[in-house]
A and B are shown apart, each in its own frame.
Chain A
């Protein structure tokens, strides 16, 4: 590696870049830290707006209130189910769609690619999609209404196809010469070399399904099938003190009413913790995968 002496201009430039990056980190990190802090702070301090960065008077009552709701664990289970099943099936379907499109031997790949690309720009809209899912597929109040309509996306197929195209053709040819079937080539040669793209797709699908709420709003009338995102959205958007006679129980316990103001933050905290825990394990592959297609040749 060549070392060279940095000029004053280089150092100044590095400083500006570092400063900018620090600002971005603060802007990104502050809401997260604030949300977690306020959800574990003393309710009175939280209600008075005294918390601005770090928790004031640690109190897990708000978190406990959220976890005490018997529905929350069910919403969590549903979300885990949708995420796990959706991610696995989504990655499989996307790869099965992208791989043939990356093979030059597939004569009609250009036609299929055009058809898939058109869907990136045009769609039927909300009502036709709703009619297809409910009247034709009969998926109303079914978990598969969350999984199937968003099982893959044109963009993901394009990204995966790009990756598969970057793999050396020689590997495939040599395996073919050795008598391997196309399925074997795909499963035992291509996929093991495709870990970065698999990680990227898995993360995209996982985050998408984890945060998905609108399909659940539309297609799931049964409360027991709802995912966590619907619950979080419902709690966060509604005001905590929006009712008349429902506050009877808080008459002698004003702190419980103040906890209600923290509950929004506690719900967000409870819902983001899994993603925060999983991301570090995938970040290395994500960084590799995000640069797919950036360098040609």
Chain B
């Protein structure tokens, strides 16, 4: 009996081994797939038809939006998702089914997890084998380098024929995005998604309940801000839980604290960008050793020493921030503006009133150093740099497909707000408006593959607030209010996505050491482990030895090239 069972087990294992054979498939861009999306009958004919349409026979009527007469397959290599709330791209998602229908291009997805994506990409680019037609690289500098090394097509050669939508879009918003990604010789090897700088920003957020208890308003000056923090501290058990666990000011890390409060000292640095500033004579200076930075760090050290700044600030993370906010411990935190409502929901007040404004966004603060507060633009591109494989059998088709995805009006409307009839409908003024279901919820467009995607796309204010404006209108109103009080502006040293070889080589030599030392000393100064007054000169001279002059030279070159 035992032997019979053993034989059966072996037979089952052998069958499963055979089942795995032949699972590798050779991708041929010219292959036509067997299936096309076939679901519920069509509702009304329009350019934006939902994938729940009538069955499409292989001899479907040609659409104006099609990029090719015969259905053609392209392979796309990208990462799986921006975070866990998104679906992994696949042809099962409504949006990608719709894109296939709209463009007549079938996509074979090759997806690697976002964590570890760079290692996988590096292996693929280095080996040059099994590279998809369209390759997501993320970092524009890496994408450009791969292009310069011969991996990608020079998009500039095809710009006029393949990127008509993108050109129109760039012209419409008045920002010369193309120059960000173009080399000195005019070549351009990657297309990146764009961020409208008015999309959102890291801002100060004040606990509405605590403000009410203290009978205070959202501060607009640095002195009022400091006074508010002290008032929160002096109020004792302000969250009423019987424990001395209040955190007066925190964030998901020290970087955002310095980014926003640093604006009150004249600093332009934002999220690691723009650690340089140009004066009125066009001379570039670093911000790591500036008087403005010293003043900002001294101020933060004072907050830390007085117990007003989270003692764990240098090791905080987004999840740790969520936990503290959920425990009703946080008075003020600094984070992205679009999260003001969902962080508010984590609190006890938020559980009872999910749509209420439990954290109020506030503008950056004026001070003795800065009369007119400001915010610096975020990066103008969103690190979705994508190249077209130079060995692709359909490079022009791949470029046109990317062009549609990024900037075709119908495709972008579908991506941003979903499908007519299920996600939105036209109101009496002919404007799209979200459909609210009977239970008060709206369709989750992320589950359909819409919204932010793992390929080049643009994010702007309209896309962000389309759904928010219905349920939480105060968010957009508050954002507009604070941008009026602390307007967004471009940094004096422009952001660039590509550098010349010389700039890149010089920066590679010094950047890592400078960043590592700067972060280490920044944390020590703020926590008071090292005296600012006593050690500042040593810190400056160490940075000089690490190549700070070279660092500044690079950004001077960038400034001179792009001003």
Write the residues of chain A forming the contact surface with B, with a CB cutoff of 8 angstroms. Answer: 44, 47-50, 71, 81, 84-85, 88, 126-127, 130-131, 134-135, 138-144, 213-214, 217-218, 221-223, 225, 230-231, 233-235, 237-255, 257-258, 260-261, 263
A247 contact from B85, B351, B355, Cβ within 8 A: B85
Query: B91-135 toward A: CB 8 Å interface, digit per residue (1/0)?
Result: 000000000000000000111111110011001101101101000
Whether B345 lies near A250 (C-beta < 8 A) is yes
- Residue pair B445, A222 in contact (C-beta under 8 Å): no
Contact of B322 among A142, A217, A241 (CB under 8 A): A241
**Further 13 A-B residue pairs, CB within 8 A, beyond A48-B326, A238-B114, A242-B318:** A50-B327, A81-B16, A85-B20, A141-B24, A233-B115, A241-B342, A242-B84, A245-B446, A246-B83, A246-B85, A248-B442, A251-B442, A258-B346
- Per CB-CB distance, the 3 closest pairs between chain A and chain B, nearest first, are A221-B110, A249-B444, A242-B83
Given A47-B322, A257-B345, A130-B123 contact (CB < 8 Å)? yes
Residues in A with CB closer than 8 Å to B130 are 134-135, 140, 221
Q: Which of B437-484 contact A (CB under 8 A)?
A: 439-442, 444-447, 451-452, 459, 463-464, 467-468, 471-472
Stretch at the interface among B183-191, B283-291, B333-341, B493-501: B333-341
| Complex interface: chain A residues within 8 A of B459 (CB) | 244
Q: Chain B, interface size: which category?
A: 35 or more
Q: Among the listed B13, B16, B339, B355, which residue makes an inter-chain contact with A251, where contact means beta carbons less than 8 Å apart?
A: B355
* A231 and chain B: residue at smallest CB distance: B113
Given contacts A245-B463, A261-B319, contact A135 B127 (CB under 8 A): yes
Most buried by B among A47, A49, A241: A241
Structural contact, A238 and B84, CB atoms closer than 8 A: yes
A-side interface mostly: helix
Chain B nearest CB, measured from A46 CB (Å): 9
- Given the known interface contacts A222-B110, A233-B116, A234-B80, the answer about A139 and B471 at a Cβ–Cβ threshold of 8 Å is no
Which among A49, A143, A213, A263 is the interface contact of B84 at CB below 8 angstroms?
A: A263
Cβ of B323 under 8 Å from chain A? yes
Smallest beta-carbon distance B247→chain A, Å: 12
A213 contacts across to B, CB distance below 8 A: 116
Known interface pairs A135-B127, A258-B346; A249-B23 also in contact (CB < 8 Å)? no
- Let me know if B127 and A140 touch, CB within 8 A: no
A251 touches B354 (CB 8 A): yes
Q: Give chain B nearest CB distance to A258 CB in angstroms.
A: 7
In the bound complex, CA of A230 to CA of B79 (Å): 12
Contact B342 A252, beta carbon cutoff 8 Å: no
A230 to B16, CA, bound (A): 22
CA of A131 to CA of B123 in the docked complex: distance in angstroms? 9
User: Of A48, A88, A144, A239, which one neighbours B83 at CB under 8 angstroms?
Assistant: A239
Of A135, A243, A244, chain B has the most CB atoms within 10 Å of the CB of: A244
B471 / chain A contacts, CB cutoff of 8 Å: 251-252
B residues in contact (CB < 8 Å) with A: 13, 16-17, 20, 23-25, 77, 80, 82-86, 88, 90, 109-116, 119-120, 123-124, 126-127, 129-130, 132, 200, 317-319, 322-324, 326-327, 336, 338-339, 341-343, 345-346, 350-351, 354-355, 439-442, 444-447, 451-452, 459, 463-464, 467-468, 471-472
Instruction: Determine the chain B residues whose CB is within 8 A of the CB of A233 once the complex forms.
Output: 113, 115-116
Per a CB cutoff under 8 Å, which of A50, A142, A223, A255 touches B351? A255
Q: How far is the CA of A237 from the CA of B319 in the complex (A)?
A: 11
A252 contacts B440, CB within 8 Å? yes
**Cβ contact of A257, chosen from B13, B127, B346, B446, cutoff 8 A:** B346
Q: B351: which A residues are within 8 A, CB to CB?
A: 44, 254-255
Task: Chain B residues near A223: list those with CB within 8 A.
Answer: 80, 88, 90, 109, 111
A247 lies within 8 A of B342 (CB): yes
- A142:B346 contact, CB within 8 angstroms: no
Q: Is the CB of A245 within 8 A of B464?
A: yes
A245 to B13 alpha-carbon distance, docked (Å)? 46
Are A249's CB and B442's CB within 8 A? yes
Within the complex, the shortest CB–CB distance from B326 to chain A, in Å, comes to 4
B23 near A141: Cβ-Cβ < 8 Å: yes
Check A238 against B13 for contact (C-beta < 8 Å): no
Which A residues are in CB contact (< 8 Å) with B120?
217-218
Interface contact B346-A235, CB-CB below 8 Å: no
Q: Which of A126, A225, A240, A255 contacts B123 (CB 8 A)?
A: A126
Given contacts A47-B326, A130-B127, A245-B451, whether A240 and B444 have CB atoms under 8 Å apart is no
Q: Give the residue name and chain of the A residue nearest to B328 (CB).
A: A48
Interface centre among A140, A144, A221, A253 (most CB of B within 10 A): A221
B16 touches A131 (CB 8 A): no
A243-B345 in contact (CB<8A) = no
CB neighbours of B339 from chain A (8 A) = 241, 244
In the complex formed, the residue of B with least CB distance to A140 is: B130
Give the distance to chain A from B434, nearest Cβ to Cβ, in Å: 9
Q: How long is the Cα–Cα vector from A244 to B463 in the complex, in angstroms?
A: 10
Interface centre among B83, B124, B440 (most CB of A within 10 A): B83
**Residue of A at shortest CB range from B318?**
A239
Smallest CB gap from B82: residue in A: A243
Task: For the complex, give the distance between the alpha carbons of A231 and B324 in Å.
Answer: 27
> Is there contact, CB below 8 Å, between B16 and A85?
yes
Residues of B within 8 A of A237 (CB): 115
A134 touches B86 (CB 8 A): no
Which A residues lie within 8 Å of B326 (CB)?
44, 47-49, 258
Could you tell me if B318 and A241 are in contact, using CB atoms closer than 8 angstroms? yes
Chain A's closest residue to B346 (CB) is A47
Interchain CB contact under 8 A, A250 and B342: yes
Expressed in whole angstroms, the Cα–Cα distance for A39 and B558 within the complex equals 50
A254 touches B345 (CB 8 A): yes
Taking a contact as CB atoms closer than 8 A, the residue among A218, A222, A230, A245 that contacts B467 in the complex is A245
How far is B343's CA from A221's CA once the two chains are assembled, in angstroms?
35
Q: Which residue of B lies closest to A89 (CB)?
A: B17
Please indicate the chain B residues that have their CB under 8 angstroms from the CB of A234 in the complex: 80, 84, 113-115
Quote the shortest CB–CB distance from B292 to chain A (angstroms). 31
Kindly name the residue among A131, A135, A230, A238 whose own CB sees the greatest number of chain B CB atoms within 10 A: A238
- Bound Cα distance A53, B323 (Å): 17
Contacts of A257 in B (CB 8 A): 342, 345-346
Q: Is the CB of B467 within 8 A of A248?
A: yes
A and B contact pairs by CB, cutoff 8 A, 14 listed: A130-B129, A135-B127, A142-B23, A221-B77, A223-B88, A233-B113, A238-B83, A246-B85, A246-B86, A246-B444, A246-B451, A248-B468, A252-B440, A254-B350
Report B-chain residues with C-beta under 8 Å of the C-beta of A231.
113
Bound state CA distance, A135 and B131, in angstroms? 11
**How far, in whole Å, are A254 and B341 apart by their CA atoms in the complex?**
10
Tell me how far the C-beta of B330 lies from the nearest C-beta in chain A, rounded to whole angstroms: 12
Q: Are B126 and A235 in contact (CB under 8 A)?
A: no
Distance in Å: Cβ of A154 to nearest Cβ of chain B = 23
Contact A242 to B113, CB < 8 A, known contacts A44-B351, A141-B24: no
CB distance from A290 to the nearest CB of B (A): 27
Contact of A141 among B25, B322, B336, B345 (CB under 8 A): B25
**Alpha-carbon distance A230/B130, docked complex (angstroms):** 21
Distance from B464 Cβ to chain A, minimum over Cβ atoms (Å): 6
Q: How far is the CA of A225 from the CA of B13 in the complex (A)?
A: 18
Instruction: Determine if A252 and B441 form an interchain contact, defined as CB atoms under 8 angstroms apart.
Output: yes
Which residues of A are found within 8 Å of B20, using beta-carbon distances?
Answer: 81, 85, 142-144
Report whether A143 and B127 are in contact in the complex, using a CB–CB cutoff of 8 Å.
no
CB distance from B509 to the nearest CB of A (A): 24
Q: What is the CB-to-nearest-CB distance from A44 to chain B, in angstroms, rounded to a whole number?
A: 7
> Contacts of A135 on B, CB cut-off 8 Å?
127, 129-130
